[in-house]
């Protein structure tokens, strides 16, 4: 495709128009004559340009893609415009989400062993909010469901990928309870969260909701 528009501006337009984080590969699908390296360079140029101009927004890599994000300092005005408040999870839901995030892939009975209570209702709530999903079944009697986090989880907690989860010790040392950060998530995690042996093979990804 031949165009007289600068690559940087085309990339900017695609990121702006996308309703979800858009990956470099998805951008290249719209610009087959451009290399991945050139597209990444254009994104880097845009990020540097916005930083230099001290704009109220940035382009950030989240959920394995790129997305415009307003800076935290401007969130009170945006919330006022939409006349809404940040979605809040209960302490129990945050604790369950923390266990799944840091211990995934994980079975429901493993979550309940760590929390000491039934988690069926909380798991359904987290699935309805799009923060967790069923990633398969384990080769155990009854084929119990295995849970993991979603791309929406990465978006909500401003993470590039699941490997970007900070170490629990690091964020617990920081303290605080800012909205939209992993601090309250880490604070909700039980102190003792021993890893599970995952020797049994998981089979088939299931799309339906449910519990084991």
Q: What is the mean pLDDT of each run of 10 residues along the chain (212 residues)?
A: 80 95 96 95 95 92 92 88 72 89 92 89 93 93 93 88 78 50 54 42 41 38
Which tokens is 185 given? 């998530």
Q: Hey, which bits of the chain come out as E strands?
A: 57-62, 65-70, 106-107, 132-138, 145-149, 202-203
For the sheet with 106-107, list strands across it.
106-107, 145-149, 132-138, 202-203
Provide the CA 187 distance to its chain's centre, in angstroms.
Answer: 18
- Residue partners of 138: CB distance under 8 A and separation at least 6: 107, 144, 146, 200, 201, 202, 203
pLDDT tens digits, residue range 55-82? 999 999 999 899 999 998 998 898 888 7
Cis? peptide before 105, omega within 30° of 0: yes
Is 208 a member of any domain? no
pLDDT for the residue 44: 95
Assess if residue 129 is contained within a domain.
Answer: yes
Residues facing 59 on adjacent strands: 68
What are the tens digits of pLDDT across the range 12-38? 999 999 999 999 999 999 999 999 999
The DSSP secondary-structure symbol of 73 reads G
212 part of a folded domain: no
Indicate if 76 and 95 belong to the same structural domain. Answer: no
Residues 197 and 97 in one domain: yes
Q: Would residue 86 count as lying in a domain?
A: no
Residues 177, 74 within the same domain: no
Are residue 162 and residue 130 in the same domain, yes or no? yes
What is the number of domains present in the chain? 2
Q: Identify the domain containing residue 157 by its residue range.
A: 91-203
Give me the torsion for CA of 133, 136, 140, 142, rounded to 10°.
Answer: 70
Please indicate, yes or no, whether residues 99 and 148 belong to a single structural domain of this protein: yes
29: domain CATH number? 1.10.10.10
Question: How many C-beta neighbours within 10 Å does residue 147 have?
Answer: 27
């Amino acid at each position: 495709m031949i165009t007289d528009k600068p690559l940087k501006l085309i990339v900017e337009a695609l990121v702006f128009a996308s309703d979800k984080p858009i990956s470099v590969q998805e951008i290249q699908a719209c610009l087959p004559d451009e290399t991945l390296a050139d597209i990444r360079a254009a994104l880097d140029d845009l990020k540097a340009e916005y930083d230099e101009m001290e704009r109220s927004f940035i382009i950030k890599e989240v959920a394995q893609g790129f997305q415009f994000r307003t800076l935290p300092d401007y969130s009170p005005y945006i919330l006022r415009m939409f006349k809404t408040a940040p979605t809040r999870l209960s302490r129990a839901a945050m604790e369950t989400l923390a266990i799944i995030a840091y211990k995934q892939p994980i079975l429901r009975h493993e979550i309940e062993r760590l929390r000491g209570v039934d988690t069926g209702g909380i798991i359904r709530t987290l699935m309805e909010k799009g923060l967790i999903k069923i990633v398969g079944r384990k080769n155990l009697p009854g084929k119990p469901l295995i849970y993991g986090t979603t791309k929406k989880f990465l978006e909500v907690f401003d993470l590039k990928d699941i490997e970007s989860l900070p170490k629990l010790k690091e964020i617990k040392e920081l303290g605080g309870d800012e909205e939209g950060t992993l601090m309250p998530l880490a604070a909700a995690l039980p102190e003792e969260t021993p890893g599970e042996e995952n020797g049994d093979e998981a089979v088939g990804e299931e799309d339906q909701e449910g519990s084991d």
